[in-house]
Chain A
Amino acid sequence: MTPLLQVRDLTKRYGARLGCGDVSFDLYPGEVMGIVGESGSGKSTLLNCLAGHLAPDEGQVIFDTRAEGPVDTLRMSEPARRMLGRTDWAFVHQNARDGLRMGVSAGANVGERLMAVGARHYGDIREQAVDWLGRVEIAEDRVDDRPRAFSGGMQQRLQIARNLVTGPRLVFMDEPTGGLDVSVQARLLDLLRGLVREMGLSAIIVTHDLAVVRLLADRLMVMKSGAVVETGLTDQVLDDPQHGYTQLLVSSVLQV
């Protein structure tokens, strides 16, 4: 099986300071990988380099495209990479405001992504938008409301609908449940897990919440000071951590 994403020696420096260094991994279709570590460990830098939001200094990010097979996305033309960002890739921001257009309706937020890939029939677009709002549990009568009239949890679900409507194959998520209260988090996790399973998505989730990765991620990558210190099966890394930093991370979680 060809990996969906092959990352090789990815390095990003901010001047003399290391953002992330020498990161390599393969992600296979249908796999969900979690990246954990404390603030400043380089996990968001890594995610942004993978998704093409930041230009790394060294390395390769090879994506198995539908048309041409594995291609290094860092050496793609800008329009080709943008197209990838609208079709096969999706990015769920921690703050829904960064991933939504706050000035247009919920339906338009979802429809816009469809139009970006060529949908033109208004009735079809609206129908698909309503269908997706339903899948993320937003009632049909809210389709014409603007996102600023939504609660934080609803905004996050709308952002997910907007991202998944084009049927991406790889989803990047930056703290998708951060800033939400726990009951809303549980609902969102359940939703994400169902969508990942049904659509056969691969996903890379950055979070500092170990409970979130335990439920969502197949594999884990632990980062500290820009370097990957440990990788493995999620429950193995959490139940039998090998690196001192991971041991500290796991033993610091408060039991409920």
Chain B
Amino acid sequence: MEAMIRVSDVSKSFVLHNQGGAVIPVMAGAELSVQPGECVALVGDSGAGKSTLMRMLYGNYLSNGGSICVGGLDVARAEPREILAMRREVLGYVSQFLRVVPRVPTLEVVAEPVLAAGGRREAGEARARDLLARLNVPERLWSLSPTTFSGGEQQRVNIARGFAHDFPAMLLDEPTASLDATNRAVVLELIEEAKARGAAIVGIFHDAEARAQVCDREIDVSRFTPERAA
């Protein structure tokens, strides 16, 4: 079967021009391959490069070498508009923090990925209602902007938004962090459902139980951390 996500020999370093041009190599020889329906956890100590790899997959960070194929597009070489199309249609991302335009109501925030992928407004809003209800976000909040919500509420809005469109590939950055047991179970259910419909998922889970429940494999990214000169 063709891998949905394939990372080959990827390297990355940061050059800090305003700090004497210091070069900080953070990754070398990274390899990863995820099949449809599979969930792979990135593990490794803090600073090993889990988030860096996720950001390179999403196109937030440039890579210095290698290739990153997501659904046939080489993210490492793609034009901005190709990456934007990939983010609309192929690759979803549940980040740790919700970033929204002020004043936009929660229901619209959640429905937006469906509209962006070309879905109808009614379909998007129906999906948004369903997800917000499942994640126990009180209905009286749906017409308000999430900017004033509590941390846990924002996180659930963020997850609802991330799962609104049925992306064939997904990145999950600590999706169960700061959730109570009930909502944590809902998120794990959503992940299982996404896998069942064939989504290829890469996730960071500090919650070891959650990781054991939904992930098929672990990749230790510290294998890709270059030796640092002392």
Chain A residues in contact with chain B, CB under 8 A? Answer: 28, 31, 186-187, 189-190, 193, 215, 218-219, 232-233, 235-236, 239-240, 242-244, 247-248, 251
Contact = CB atoms under 8 A, between A and B. Distances in A.
Contact of B18 (A190, A236, A247): A247
Given A28-B81, A193-B101, A235 B62 contact: no
Contact of A190 (B15, B17, B62, B103): B103
Chain B CB within 10 Å, residue with most, of A219, A232, A240, A244: A240
Given A218-B81, A247-B18, A251-B18, A236 B61 contact: yes
A28 B102 CA distance: 27
A236 B62 contact: yes
Contacts of A248: 17-18
Given A233-B83, A247-B16, A190 B102 contact: yes
Contacts of B185: none
Contacts of B17: 243-244, 247-248
A244 B103 CA distance: 35
A210 B81 CA distance: 20
Nearest to B12: A240
B84 interface: yes
Nearest to A28: B81
B81 A31 contact: yes
A189 B59 contact: no
Interface string B59-71: 1111000000000
26 contacts: A186-B101, A186-B102, A187-B102, A190-B102, A218-B80, A218-B81, A218-B84, A219-B80, A219-B81, A232-B62, A233-B59, A233-B84, A239-B55, A239-B60, A240-B14, A240-B55, A240-B60, A240-B61, A242-B15, A242-B62, A244-B17, A244-B18, A247-B16, A247-B17, A247-B18, A248-B18
A233 B58 CA distance: 11
B104 interface: yes
A236 B60 contact: yes
Interface of A is mostly: helix
Contact of A189 (B61, B62, B84, B102): B102
Nearest to A251: B18
B221 to A, nearest CB: 18
Nearest to A244: B17
Contacts of B16: 247
B1 to A, nearest CB: 30
Contacts of A215: 101
Contacts of B84: 218, 233
A244 B16 CA distance: 7
A240 B62 contact: yes
A189 B145 CA distance: 14
A187 B103 contact: yes
Contacts of A186: 101-103
B80 A190 contact: no
Given A31-B81, A219-B80, A190 B104 contact: yes
Nearest to A186: B102
A190 B83 CA distance: 23
A248 B18 CA distance: 7
Nearest to A189: B101
Given A218-B84, A236-B60, 11 more contacts: A31-B81, A218-B80, A233-B59, A236-B61, A236-B62, A236-B80, A240-B14, A240-B62, A244-B17, A247-B17, A248-B18
Contacts of A243: 17
Interface in B34-57: 55
A31 B150 CA distance: 34
Contacts of B62: 232, 236, 240, 242
Contacts of B104: 190
Nearest to A218: B84
Contacts of A189: 101-102
Chain A CB within 10 Å, residue with most, of B59, B84, B101: B101
Contact of B60 (A28, A187, A235): A235
B43 to A, nearest CB: 23
Contacts of A232: 62, 80
A31 B84 CA distance: 10
